[in-house]
Amino acid sequence: MNHRIDEMLEPGSKIGILGGGQLGRMLAVAATRLGFKSHIFEPAKNSPASQVSFQVSTASYEDEKALIEFAKDVDVITYEFENIPTSALDILEKIVPIRPGRDALRISQDRIIEKDFLSDLGLKTAPYQLVEDLSSLQTASKNIGLPAILKTTRLGYDGKGQVRLSENSNLEEEYRKLENHSLVYEGFVDFEFEVSVIAARNLSGQVACYDPGQNIHVNGILHTTTVPSQLNSKQTIDAVLIASKILESLNYIGVLGVELFHTKAGLIVNEIAPRVHNSGHWTQNGCSIDQFEQHIRAITGWPLGDGKRHTNVVMENLIGDEIKRAATLALDGNISLHLYGKNDIKPGRKMGHFNLVREK
């Protein structure tokens, strides 16, 4: 192996996946469907992805030897999460292509860089300002106003690493909860609902988007995604064009998730994720080619699916104890279950999801 690929990878080639969670698991299954083999790199033992992969490297991202062996074994590397240590990427990239590329990772690893990037593209974001100390928090609060959200610029997800600020908040107290991190102050966006666009671009520059899905979050974690969304056809096109602009500007290869707020003033980009996305799980039961296969196709130089949706779908996450609903949900013939094979139930932990399918 160990060669740069510029063309379509043949079935039988090996896809390296950084991260062994549920996204890695579903990527591994999709790779298999196209006749590829999967090799998971993941520090934890018995990860969800390891249960369905051809091969597993159980090692830390600091383990240079393991990283080199992994990279030499595979034909292309992708990932299921954006917070991969830069040092690991530096090692891997010398041996085999990483897709999506480093630019997308650099941008999405830091909320400030991401928002600067989006603004430079002429896309709307929430008003934001870097917070380096208590005094700059107070300035931001004056400039942008309250309510607002204070977030770590790096490593936050599923509502972690952020506090909400209102007129009644004690700014100093809230600041203490997150100090020692680089922070961003984000102004409140009065949005009517949130949608996300799952878009893809492949090695030849072909772009395809799925229908925007409408998201509902509970306690900062995605609860449901519904297709079709409430966007009208003009707004749907706007959403797709935003995603496409981001893909093109990055020469992006792979699936990208773009979260958008629908406001009275138009669409505002909330955040982007350079990977398959929880809000795209509905494609497993709504499309001939789902987001996982779409991602594998994109990074292996295969043609993309056209993203056409053949059914209406509501995707719902099963968080923590909700996994216990599985047996009851299985009674409904319109429900397709996807459980992640996680051993321990923990509050807030994504244990599975299901797609409720309705004919269009």
Q: Point out which residues bind a copy of itself (CB under 8 A).
A: 8, 11-12, 25, 28-29, 32-37, 51-54, 285, 288-289, 297, 302-303, 305-308, 310-311, 323, 326-327, 330-331, 333-341, 343, 352, 355, 357, 359-360
Question: What DSSP character marks residue 125?
Answer: B
Are 260 and 267 a contacting pair, CB within 8 Å? yes
Residue whose structure tokens are 């990427």: 89
Q: Give the shortest CB-310-to-a copy of itself separation in angstroms.
A: 6
CB atoms within 10 A of CB 93: 14
**Residue at 23: amino acid letter:** L
Among 297, 318, 313, 299, residue whose Cα is nearest residue 355: 313
Give min distance, CB of 160 to a copy of itself, in A.
25
- Paired residues of 201 in beta bridges: 207, 254
**Nearest residue (CB) to a copy of itself, 130 versus 323:** 323
Strands 148-152 and 193-201: what pairing?
unpaired
CA quadruple 333, 336, 341, 345: dihedral positive or negative? negative
| Amino acid identity, position 210 | Y
Return the structure tokens found at 219.
């306690």
Name the residue with tokens 């929880």: 278
Nearer to a copy of itself, 121 or 326 (CB): 326
Cβ nearer to a copy of itself, comparing 32 with 139: 32
Least CB distance from residue 280 to a copy of itself, whole Å?
16
| Cα radius of gyration (the chain) | 20
Decide whether 124 or 309 has the Cβ nearer to a copy of itself: 309
What is the secondary structure of 201-246 as a DSSP string? E-TT--EEEPPPEEEEEETTEEEEEEES-S--HHHHHHHHHHHHHH
Q: How near is the Cβ of 332 to a copy of itself at its closest, in Å?
A: 9
User: Closest CB to a copy of itself among 109 and 334?
Assistant: 334
Taking the least distance from each CB to a copy of itself, the nearer of 75 and 271 is: 75
User: How near is the Cβ of 216 to a copy of itself at its closest, in Å?
Assistant: 22
Q: Which is nearer to a copy of itself, 67 or 315 (CB)?
A: 315
Output the smallest distance, CB 63 to a copy of itself, in A.
Answer: 24
Q: Give the Cβ contact number of residue 343 at 10 Å.
A: 6
Residue 237 DSSP class: H
CB of 203 to a copy of itself, least distance (A): 13
**Beta strands 148-152 and 162-165, pairing class:** antiparallel
Name which of 122 and 333 has its Cβ closer to a copy of itself.
333
Instruction: Using alpha carbons, select from 192, 189, 186 the residue that is nearest to residue 215.
Output: 192
Please report how close the Cβ of residue 35 comes to a copy of itself at its closest, in angstroms: 3
